[in-house]
Structure 1
Amino acid sequence: MRLVARAVSHLGALVLLATLWLLSAAAQAQGIESVLSPGKVVQSHAKVEADCKSCHVKFDRAAQDRLCSDCHKDIAADVRDKSGFHGRKLATQPSACRDCHTDHKGRNARIVELDVKAFDHTGLADWSLRGAHIKTECKSCHLPGKKWREAPQDCLSCHKKDDTHKGTLGPKCADCHTETDWKKTTFDHDKTRFALKDKHADAKCGDCHRDSNYRETPRTCIGCHRKDDEQLIKGRRGHQGQYGEKCETCHTAKAWKPSTFNHDVDTKYLLKGKHKPLECKACHTGHLYKQPVKSDCLSCHLKDDKHKGTLGKDCASCHNERGWKDQGKFDHDKTKFPLLGKHVEAECKACHKSQVFNEAPKDCIGCHEKDDKHDKTLGRDCGACHGERDWKTTKGKFDHDKTQFPLRNGHAVPKLECKACHKSLKDMRKTPLDCLSCHKKDDKHEGQLGARCESCHTDKTWKTTIGFDHAKTRFPLTGRHITTVCKDCHTTGARFKDAPMDCWSCHKKADKHKQTLGTACESCHNTRSWGLWNFDHDRQTSYRLEGPHAKVACITCHARPAPAGKKVAPTGNTCIACHRKDDVHDGAFGNRCEQCHVVDKWKRIINRGMSPPPVLPATPSVTPPAKPPAGTNRSPS
């Protein structure tokens, strides 16, 4: 038992000695590392300078990056998310922390050297510089004493002094302003409670929003146009509040003048005759609501009463709104001379030369002697041919159908005056009977088709033709062309062969493509309806439309007018030809977008991790690309 006890005692002593020796060796090694330190670390690492293992692991240099990430958690998060400067750079160029950041060069050493002039802000930062930001100095956003990553990304942090709204519109400056020019806004006023229409669309912001106060701007007309209602403008004084404050009752934003107030609909007093063109103030001399206008005639026309009240106040019993001198309600038919035809419109004084009305003559020649163009060769019985409806229209005993030229249709009385054919009213029998003698000035053919007008025209109407079959010409009429009037195509009158035979010459105004798709309209449209068109881009061209391209409007890609003799203007067959503005890489990855992007969805990336393709010179091609192989999911986009 004593031997066993002694052996155990010796074993414990050996263990104790071994432990002390290991501790001494560790302390000695730590002391050696301190002695062999290459120099002092920077000030930010000074607190861990004595503890080498905070940054180093023996015999494992790769572990140093892990220790860096443990302290710099924000950078570690960027690397993990492939965002920020470190995340973007290490995603394409993996390297160790010590390759860029060196230490042990003294407390004031700079362990970060960044070439700000050559820095790719678009490719290596989360904030792409656009517009005016491209020329902005770094220190304008990256303030001294702050980390580069701490630069704000909201507009107001940098542009607070430029905020003329004084915070009333919130911090989202980008809703209205752009990076190109702070003073140019893209605000859509139609999404507010006051959509800008007509003349309001041309108004400057400051006209309504005084002192950049946008939320308290009035939305009523009188709120902005009170001065137009009260002040003297261009020599004319406004309503002076006489018509109230509901300007929109009469005025619109399309034009302040003329007024849109409809007196016949909006009031109980219809404006007729001479009342219709009168200005409002002619009758409304007081306040519209406090001093209403009376509706009787004498209230306004007291100065016009030539009878001086002898016939009472019922002016309307004789006069009407067409004219004060028009005795509209007097019934002349109850006299010995009923008024018929043009006599109804004649003024009283035309026949009644004096106040003795019975002295007026009752036969035609008594008043119309100066109108007798026959120089009395046909006697005094004017009523035998002429009637009260029109002196130039004949009626009565004379029957033109008993002559060699019966009057039919367009020649019939009263559509045609006698003098139209009878140039001399004193010699009416020598009037020619052929069409051209009277209608030479109407011959739009300029004599090319001869003198037999009746072969195509009728006496019903000169514009109606008979017997002409357009199907026998070089241009048969089909579809909507059948109902089209001749002059729409034959713009040179009767020179029918001058009419063009191609669609474009007649349908220029209907070309919504602005010549970007050429002049061969028939390749898509037909004569049944201009709005019905059919064009199969996949079969009729060598450029197959896939994915979202199938829904894009033609003019989106074909934006330039077609050259002479060409169907369409040449378009590039590369993605970048149309999507240069979508290239967030600013050309850094060349123009072969299809290596990473797909036509179905631009934001879905393929071939991640590949080296950037070489930058090729942009050479637009005029030859459309060949159809892609079956099953491929790539297409120029």
Structure 2
Amino acid sequence: MLRNPRFWLPAASLGGVLWLLYMDLDRTSPGPITPTHAQVPELVDSSSCETCHGSFDGTLAEGCATCHVEIGADLADGTGFHGTLADVDAQDCGHCHGEHYGAEVRLVNDRSYALAGIADRTAYDHAPLNFTLAGRHAELACSDCHEHADARMLAPGEKRYLGLERACVACHEDVHEGRMARDCAACHGQVQPFAEVAVFAHARFVCEGSHDAADCAACHEPESDHSVEALASFDPPTDERACRDCHESPHSRAFTTRAGAPGPATEVESCGLCHAAVHDAFAGHPAAMPVELHGASGFELAAPHDQVACADCHGTAADAALVDFADRYPGRGADECAACHTDVHGAQFDDIGFLRGSGCLACHERHSFRPSTFDVAEHALTSFELAGSHAAVACSTCHEQVHPDEPRVFHGTPADCASCHADAHRGALVGAEEGCAVCHAVTLFSEFRADAFDHDRFTSFELDGAHARAECESCHRPARQPDELGRTFGFASEVFGQPVDACATCHTDPHWGAFDSARLPGEVEGRAGCARCHLTESFREPALESFDHESWTGYPLDGAHARAECDSCHRRSELPDELGRTFGRVHEVFGQPVQDCRTCHADPHRGAFADPELPAEVSGRESCSRCHTTESFRELWAGAFDHELWTGYPIAPFHASTECTDCHAPVVEPGGRQSFAHAAGNSCSDCHADPHVGQFIVGGRTDCARCHLDAGGLDFDHGRDTRFALDETHTPLECSACHIPWPIPGGEKAVRYKPLGIECSDCHGPEYGGGR
């Protein structure tokens, strides 16, 4: 049995194992652990073997998973680096990661990668990790992303490769700030820089031509409704943008809308009807606008425009640098001829009421400007109807072209007759706004409507009274031969030698200009000239109620004058004079013009009051009216006659009580006219006898007023007026005691006042009785 190896060989093997086990139980570790594990206290004591190696019924992988939880999960799920290794027993951790070799051998080294089937760590294909390294990522070193990839020792909690996220924002700054619904790789990829958006495809809008080279922000302005973030957000906008939303369109919205009207194109798509989607620039596109679209845009290319080249109206692409788009494509209408064609009328018809908005086609055919379609009927819509002879006149006769470089004048052409026809009346007719047509027909001037002529309105000379009955030839004498205008009807000025502006032009003034003075009124109740007083029926029928004798002659008719008959001063002649006048003039009756009362009345005072030293005027009254009223010479103005002023002799109270006739005796002049005599004189002696018989004559004159008062009494002072002053003895005496009657020649007596003596003996001598 011992010789049989089937029995002793297993027994020997078991014994050897038991011996080895026994020997191993005495050993704490087969060798020092790596510094990374040595940092963990639980792994360095004698009882720590199970922590890594597990119990008798456990595996090394399970022990490792105690600390390396993420790797354990990858192994369990078949994910991650360890869970996806092929042809390698992932449960045998020590196969790749040798331990108990101390610090000399790294847990992760080139041998580890080689045993895992990775010959070159830097070329590791990350595809099993659902992260493909391409472009810039493929060029990076492991440590660029895995910070501790090359570390010899990891600190507690540090990961060599684990712990990173696949999201771009884990490593790169998210310029979109998390607003994007899609991941970064959907647009950017890993080949080009982020700014190039390498892999994004415009599903709704193909970026071709100039759009392909455009920066994203050029179309997707940041923070706008169409920014990249807004379009890729969880709630993107649904509206579709048109070309004009990004490009400044020189076309009006009405143009782009009308251009798409014939077909299924909307305004959004209408640009593509003329402009290719792939282009470098809108301008200079070789394709011409289709004729039907040109019509839809508002300008139908009908005759004669259908034969015109585009460049004839819009210039060429070569002109674009020199001519603004708005100049080349101004949006002209088919009826706006002046937009392309020079306005030969110089804008004369731009603001004509009945033509406003019609343009050139109001008068011209669409296919040709000549001849004009503006006929007589349309001319009637203007301010001048072509009636009568005017209808046959050529347009150029009235509408002249003053200068070859200037347009022919249509608008503003005068419509009055005088602007085209010479005025046969030489401007004599006024007040007719309708012009010549008021009286003349539009066929011939000789066709005159006499009933339409208002002499008063057109000549300012009213035909009334005798004038209305006169024949026209009386003032308008016909000529034997017509003048250069064919006129034979004479002018009144040719008959009377001057324009008719007053009665005196045709009628001789029988008043010899007496009423033409500047001091007289030029009008009376709206009537001028002779009409101020005379009626047009006859000069012999004056309008007496309007004749103010004082205003017109300077002589007022009041008092007795107002009651006198006109013939009293204006004596009528038996036969009319050469002017037919019978009404006499004052100077013919009285021999001189009326100057004052004496012209007509004899002066009973014989010039006594005409002395130049006397007042010529009293209270505004002159001549006789200074004292007399016009009612009667016997009637004086109250208080008007100042006796002292006019005669030089004051009437004192005594004389004022006497009658005038006491001094001025009534007399009858030759012819029976009553008057009054002059007073005898101014001296008392002229009217009164001198009782003193000349005793007080001085210088041949006795001045009674030296002693006597006009009111009565004396103003005599014996001491002042004589040579003998009365003393106290003589004062009580009566005058008659000294002044006694004395005989005078003729047998009468007079009281003697002088000469008397002044000596005592002259009165008291013996011869006088001694006692006197």
Smaller-chain TM-score bracket: 0.3 to 0.5
Larger RCO: 1 or 2 (CA < 8 Å, sep 6+): 1
**TM-score of the superposition, structure 2-length normalised?**
0.29
